[in-house]
Amino acid sequence: MKRTLLGALEAIDHEVIGEKKIFLGGTCNDSTWREELIEMLEIGYYDPVVNNWTPKMKKEELDQRDDCEFLLYCITPKMTGVYSIAEAVDDSNKRAKKMIFCVLKKDGKDEFDDAQESSLDSVAKMITENGGKCFRSLKAVADYVNKGKR
Protein backbone atom coordinates (compact mmCIF):
# COMPACT_ATOMS: atom_id res chain seq x y z
CA MET A 1 0.00 0.00 0.00
CA LYS A 2 1.42 3.39 -0.96
CA ARG A 3 1.58 5.98 1.84
CA THR A 4 1.73 9.73 1.69
CA LEU A 5 2.83 12.09 4.45
CA LEU A 6 -0.71 11.96 5.80
CA GLY A 7 -1.02 8.24 5.17
CA ALA A 8 -3.90 5.80 5.16
CA LEU A 9 -7.59 6.63 5.28
CA GLU A 10 -7.92 5.86 9.00
CA ALA A 11 -5.54 4.92 11.79
CA ILE A 12 -5.44 1.16 11.99
CA ASP A 13 -5.78 -0.54 15.34
CA HIS A 14 -5.25 -4.29 15.04
CA GLU A 15 -5.87 -5.73 18.44
CA VAL A 16 -7.08 -9.02 19.77
CA ILE A 17 -8.40 -8.95 23.33
CA GLY A 18 -5.52 -9.80 25.66
CA GLU A 19 -2.92 -9.51 22.90
CA LYS A 20 0.08 -7.27 23.23
CA LYS A 21 0.30 -4.41 20.79
CA ILE A 22 3.00 -2.18 19.27
CA PHE A 23 2.60 1.49 18.33
CA LEU A 24 4.08 2.15 14.87
CA GLY A 25 5.49 5.68 15.02
CA GLY A 26 8.17 7.21 12.83
CA THR A 27 8.85 8.02 9.20
CA CYS A 28 5.96 8.30 6.72
CA ASN A 29 6.56 9.81 3.24
CA ASP A 30 5.94 6.73 1.09
CA SER A 31 8.15 4.58 3.29
CA THR A 32 7.09 0.94 3.36
CA TRP A 33 8.72 0.01 6.67
CA ARG A 34 5.34 -0.38 8.41
CA GLU A 35 4.09 -2.92 5.87
CA GLU A 36 7.40 -4.79 6.02
CA LEU A 37 7.31 -4.96 9.82
CA ILE A 38 3.63 -5.92 10.01
CA GLU A 39 4.41 -8.99 7.89
CA MET A 40 6.80 -10.16 10.64
CA LEU A 41 4.66 -9.35 13.69
CA GLU A 42 3.02 -11.97 15.87
CA ILE A 43 1.33 -9.30 18.02
CA GLY A 44 -1.24 -6.57 17.40
CA TYR A 45 -0.33 -3.07 16.25
CA TYR A 46 -1.59 0.47 16.06
CA ASP A 47 -0.73 2.45 12.93
CA PRO A 48 -1.20 6.19 13.61
CA VAL A 49 -0.84 7.25 9.96
CA VAL A 50 -4.05 8.89 8.70
CA ASN A 51 -5.08 11.04 5.74
CA ASN A 52 -7.12 13.46 7.79
CA TRP A 53 -5.36 14.46 11.01
CA THR A 54 -7.99 15.71 13.47
CA PRO A 55 -7.98 16.50 17.20
CA LYS A 56 -9.81 13.17 17.68
CA MET A 57 -6.97 11.32 15.90
CA LYS A 58 -4.35 13.11 18.03
CA LYS A 59 -6.19 12.04 21.21
CA GLU A 60 -6.43 8.47 19.91
CA GLU A 61 -2.67 8.45 19.21
CA LEU A 62 -1.90 9.65 22.74
CA ASP A 63 -4.26 7.02 24.21
CA GLN A 64 -2.60 4.30 22.13
CA ARG A 65 0.85 5.39 23.31
CA ASP A 66 -0.38 4.80 26.85
CA ASP A 67 -2.08 1.48 26.04
CA CYS A 68 0.47 -0.25 23.78
CA GLU A 69 3.09 -2.50 25.36
CA PHE A 70 5.71 -1.34 22.87
CA LEU A 71 6.29 2.12 21.37
CA LEU A 72 8.30 1.95 18.17
CA TYR A 73 9.74 4.94 16.36
CA CYS A 74 11.35 3.82 13.12
CA ILE A 75 13.41 6.51 11.41
CA THR A 76 14.42 6.18 7.77
CA PRO A 77 16.03 8.48 5.19
CA LYS A 78 12.57 9.32 3.85
CA MET A 79 12.04 11.40 7.00
CA THR A 80 11.46 15.08 6.22
CA GLY A 81 10.53 16.42 9.67
CA VAL A 82 12.05 15.73 13.06
CA TYR A 83 8.98 15.47 15.30
CA SER A 84 9.17 11.66 15.48
CA ILE A 85 12.65 11.97 16.96
CA ALA A 86 11.34 14.40 19.58
CA GLU A 87 8.50 11.97 20.39
CA ALA A 88 10.97 9.10 20.68
CA VAL A 89 13.20 10.97 23.13
CA ASP A 90 10.15 12.15 25.08
CA ASP A 91 8.79 8.59 25.30
CA SER A 92 12.21 7.29 26.34
CA ASN A 93 11.96 9.65 29.32
CA LYS A 94 8.31 8.94 30.15
CA ARG A 95 7.87 5.31 29.07
CA ALA A 96 11.39 3.88 28.84
CA LYS A 97 10.43 0.23 29.38
CA LYS A 98 8.12 0.36 26.33
CA MET A 99 10.40 2.40 24.07
CA ILE A 100 11.97 1.02 20.89
CA PHE A 101 13.99 3.18 18.48
CA CYS A 102 14.97 1.79 15.10
CA VAL A 103 17.10 3.53 12.49
CA LEU A 104 17.19 2.12 8.97
CA LYS A 105 20.19 3.42 7.02
CA LYS A 106 18.44 2.80 3.70
CA ASP A 107 14.84 3.18 2.58
CA GLY A 108 14.36 2.41 -1.09
CA LYS A 109 16.85 4.58 -2.99
CA ASP A 110 17.28 6.96 -0.05
CA GLU A 111 20.19 6.64 2.37
CA PHE A 112 21.40 8.59 5.40
CA ASP A 113 24.77 10.27 4.98
CA ASP A 114 27.52 9.81 7.58
CA ALA A 115 26.69 13.03 9.46
CA GLN A 116 23.00 12.13 9.71
CA GLU A 117 23.83 8.62 10.81
CA SER A 118 26.21 9.92 13.48
CA SER A 119 23.52 12.25 14.80
CA LEU A 120 20.97 9.42 14.90
CA ASP A 121 23.50 7.23 16.70
CA SER A 122 23.70 9.95 19.37
CA VAL A 123 19.90 9.96 19.67
CA ALA A 124 19.94 6.15 19.97
CA LYS A 125 22.57 6.37 22.72
CA MET A 126 20.41 8.89 24.60
CA ILE A 127 17.36 6.63 24.30
CA THR A 128 19.37 3.60 25.46
CA GLU A 129 20.71 5.53 28.44
CA ASN A 130 17.11 6.42 29.33
CA GLY A 131 16.23 2.71 29.34
CA GLY A 132 14.85 2.23 25.82
CA LYS A 133 15.88 -0.37 23.24
CA CYS A 134 17.53 0.49 19.93
CA PHE A 135 17.80 -1.58 16.76
CA ARG A 136 19.11 -1.24 13.19
CA SER A 137 16.73 -3.61 11.42
CA LEU A 138 13.02 -4.39 11.29
CA LYS A 139 13.80 -8.08 11.80
CA ALA A 140 15.54 -7.27 15.10
CA VAL A 141 12.50 -5.23 16.18
CA ALA A 142 10.11 -8.05 15.21
CA ASP A 143 12.22 -10.66 17.01
CA TYR A 144 12.28 -8.52 20.16
CA VAL A 145 8.55 -7.78 20.32
CA ASN A 146 7.50 -11.27 19.23
CA LYS A 147 9.67 -12.72 22.00
CA GLY A 148 8.09 -10.24 24.42
CA LYS A 149 4.57 -11.43 23.53
CA ARG A 150 4.94 -14.58 25.57
Residue ranges making up the domain that contains 113: 12-148
Residue type at position 89: V
Kindly state whether residue 140 falls inside one of the protein's structural domains.
Answer: yes
- The pTM for the full model equals 0.86
Kindly state whether residue 20 falls inside one of the protein's structural domains.
Answer: yes
Domain count, the chain: 1
- Give the model's pLDDT for residue 52: 82
Residue 108 in this model has a pLDDT that exceeds 80: yes
Kindly state whether residue 4 falls inside one of the protein's structural domains.
Answer: no
Kindly state whether residue 88 falls inside one of the protein's structural domains.
Answer: yes
Kindly state whether residue 17 falls inside one of the protein's structural domains.
Answer: yes
- Give the model's pLDDT for residue 51: 83
Residue 75 in this model has a pLDDT that exceeds 70: yes
Residue 17 in this model has a pLDDT that exceeds 50: no
Kindly state whether residue 67 falls inside one of the protein's structural domains.
Answer: yes
- Report which of 12, 16, 19 is spatially closest to residue 148, judged by C-alpha positions: 19
CATH number at residue 110: 3.40.50.10140
Kindly state whether residue 24 falls inside one of the protein's structural domains.
Answer: yes
Mean pLDDT of 50-71: 91
Kindly state whether residue 28 falls inside one of the protein's structural domains.
Answer: yes
For the chain, what is the mean pLDDT?
Answer: 88
